[in-house]
Amino acid sequence: MNELQVYLFVALILFCLGLTGVLQRRSLIAMLISVELMLNAASLNFMAFNRFLTPEPAVGQIVTLFIIGTAAAEAAIGLSIILAVFRRYQSIDIERARELKG
């Protein structure tokens, strides 16, 4: 295994962990953390490709900066919606919020 593959492998594991987290976890905060894991996996991929493959030195790093910034905005929006859910159901368990069906 060369170095690039190690990074790609780690990123893939992170991504899969995040995906299972979002689908399996019942706590909204844990789901949010899992989404962040998925985003970090993408960042890691960008950085690794940038370091080992591309001639242009900065593009992957800029992408990562943008991912970090948008992830923070996403977390802020997500947390405020979670707060609204908490106030209504007194819980952050996703099972409580399942009235819409059909």
Instruction: Give the 3-state secondary structure of residue 20.
Output: helix
- Would you give the DSSP letter of residue 90? S
The secondary structure of 42-91 as a DSSP string is HHHHHHHHHHHT-S-SSHHHHHHHHHHHHHHHHHHHHHHHHHHHHHHHS-
> Binding residue for another protein (CB under 8 A) from 22, 30, 33, 51?
22
- Is there binding between residue 95 and another protein (CB under 8 A)? no
Rg over CA atoms, the chain: 17
- Is there binding between residue 56 and another protein (CB under 8 A)? yes
Q: C-beta of 83: minimal distance to another protein in Å?
A: 6
Q: C-beta of 68: minimal distance to another protein in Å?
A: 6
Q: Which residues bind another protein (CB under 8 A)?
A: 1, 3, 11, 15, 18-19, 22, 28, 31-32, 35, 38-39, 41-42, 45-46, 48-49, 53-56, 59-60, 62-63, 65-85, 88, 94, 97-100, 102
